[in-house]
Amino acid sequence: MSLDHDLIALDSLLTEQERLLQKNVRSFVDSAIKPNIADWYEKAVFPLEIVPEMAKLGLLGMHLDGYGCAGRSAVEYGLAGAELEAGDSGLRTFVSVQGSLAMSAIHKHGSDEQKQQWLPQMAAGEAIGCFGLTEPTAGSDPGSMKTFARRDGSGPDADWVLNGSKRWIGLASVAKVAIIWAQTDDGVRGFVVPTETPGFKATPIEPKLSMRASIQCDIELTDVRLPADALLPGANSLRGPFECLNEARYGIIWGAMGAARDAWQTAVDYSKERLQFDKPLAGYQLTQEKLVNMALEINKGFLLALHLGRLKDAGNLQPHQISVGKLNNCREAIEIARECRTILGGNGITLDYSPLRHANNLESVRTYEGTDEVHTLILGQKITGIPAFR
């Protein structure tokens, strides 16, 4: 499939190395994901078999340094995310949960022993990780989490015992390790929990109308006993998980535009072939206006993503700027995917075409990692100085 959306020579803003990575991931998506995604989506399976291929491409923890990670730039991570989400949001979400959340938590906040133990096997795709922050009654307000970690005894070597529940945790039922955030007597702390630990139970949430080629789970933690060194030493408050969320939210800025681009290209191709009243749909002014308006937003969305990526690579990206990108690009992408469906008419509601699948997935993407409403209020606070959360 050709790609016609680039009206402003976006490619010219990329380096040779960035273009090569983009090309390699696109070709992986074209050969390994696109031919199978409708089947995976219909059957609601996450294709575990492609994890080793993603690892081989260096996509797991790709923007992290050392410990077997690829050490790629933020822009390269974003470009890969866009290509993966052009395949399906569920596949990009796996890379994001693995690299931006679970591995980032260990990389940013873990001890050297925790990094040595987990990061190489996670980068190699031999261990899947998940990130347990959200709870059944604590979504936008993770500070109200009820999961509690108590020390069993005194002194630095005392075990931790975790009790509570988590919800909407990506990949938890296939994960080997979970990063679990819990209240303690000293505030919110993070724990590295091997999922084989007695008392850890993950159950997929089914059936879903979105992200069907991905897994989201409930987790129950019942007297999960951990050694003292399961604590992430570098995370001392809610700031710990938020610093990981920044990474995942950044990836979404790119990913959402990848889904939009794929939906749009599908609509362009269809409209050129589909005849109505003896003329291709693409020849009607109404269709052209839709295609043009969507192309403008895709070009602007990618420009925004690239600008924020360059800021991130320079070490200057601020959390509120991530909110600008996540809010705008998710909002535009879902509108684009829905508008593309209109061009496909009735055929657009089948799994033969990607736009409605992308639109359904984007319902999740605009909700996780901070809803539209949360990012609006983060920006409202930035502009007015007044937090409207409480």
Q: Which is nearer to ligand TGC, 50 or 178 (CB)?
A: 178
Q: Which is nearer to ligand TGC, 290 or 326 (CB)?
A: 326
Answer for which of 41, 131, 191, 250 binds ligand TGC (CB under 6 A) is 131
| Choice among 83, 297, 339, 369 that is catalytic | 369
Q: Does 173 bind ligand TGC (CB under 6 A)?
A: no
List beta partners, residue 169: 217
Q: Does 136 bind ligand TGC (CB under 6 A)?
A: no
Between residue 204 and residue 243, which ones bind ligand TGC under the rule CB under 6 A?
216, 237-239, 242-243
Tokens of 119: 């990061």
For residues 63 and 101, is the Cβ–Cβ distance under 8 A?
no
Part in contact with ligand TGC (CB under 6 A); list of ranges 76-84, 126-134, 272-280, 282-290: 126-134
At 78, give phi and psi (nearest 5°).
-65, -45
Query: Residue 292 Cβ, how far from ligand TGC at the closest point, in Å?
Result: 34
Answer for which of 60, 95, 105, 169 binds ligand TGC (CB under 6 A) is 169
**CA angle, 252 as apex, 249 and 165 as ends, to 5°?**
55
| Site pattern 353..372 for ligand TGC (x: CB under 6 A) | ---------------xxx--
Sign of CA dihedral 276, 278, 282, 284: negative
Between residue 77 and residue 106, which ones bind ligand TGC under the rule CB under 6 A?
93, 97
Q: Which is nearer to ligand TGC, 25 or 105 (CB)?
A: 105
**Cα(154)–Cα(142) distance, rounded to whole angstroms?**
28
CA–CA distances in Å: residue 144 to residues 253, 274, 345, 366, 386: 27, 52, 45, 22, 21
Q: Is 369 in the active site? A: yes
Part in contact with ligand TGC (CB under 6 A); list of ranges 105-113, 163-171, 218-226, 282-290: 163-171
Answer for which of 66, 136, 143, 227 binds ligand TGC (CB under 6 A) is 143
Q: Which is nearer to ligand TGC, 262 or 369 (CB)?
A: 369
For residues 348 and 342, is the Cβ–Cβ distance under 8 A?
yes
Which DSSP string corresponds to 340-370? HHHHHGGGGGSTTSSHHHHHHHHHHHTTTTS
Q: Does 182 bind ligand TGC (CB under 6 A)?
A: no
Q: Which is nearer to ligand TGC, 5 or 107 (CB)?
A: 107
Tokens of 222: 């019942």
Q: Which is nearer to ligand TGC, 193 or 298 (CB)?
A: 193
For residues 60 and 24, is the Cβ–Cβ distance under 8 A?
no
List beta partners, residue 276: 279
**Cα(355)–Cα(129) distance, rounded to whole angstroms?**
29
Part in contact with ligand TGC (CB under 6 A); list of ranges 127-135, 175-183, 197-205, 329-337: 127-135
**CA angle, 279 as apex, 276 and 284 as ends, to 5°?**
90
Answer for which of 68, 71, 120, 142 binds ligand TGC (CB under 6 A) is 142
Query: Given its phi and psi angles, is residue 280 left (phi above 0), alpha (psi -120 to 50 degrees) or beta?
Result: beta
Between residue 290 and residue 349, which ones bind ligand TGC under the rule CB under 6 A?
319
> What is the rounded (10 degree) CA torsion for 148, 151, 152, 155?
180
Query: Residue 52 Cβ, how far from ligand TGC at the closest point, in Å?
Result: 21
Query: Residue 368 Cβ, how far from ligand TGC at the closest point, in Å?
Result: 4
Query: Residue 329 Cβ, how far from ligand TGC at the closest point, in Å?
Result: 16
What is the chain's alpha carbon radius of gyration, rounded to the nearest angstrom? 21
**Cα(385)–Cα(382) distance, rounded to whole angstroms?**
6
Answer for which of 28, 40, 168, 254 binds ligand TGC (CB under 6 A) is 168
Q: Does 128 bind ligand TGC (CB under 6 A)?
A: no
Chain residues in the site for ligand TGC (CB under 6 A): 93, 97, 131, 133-134, 140-143, 168-170, 216, 237-239, 242-243, 245-246, 319, 368-370, 374, 378, 389
Positions marked catalytic:
369
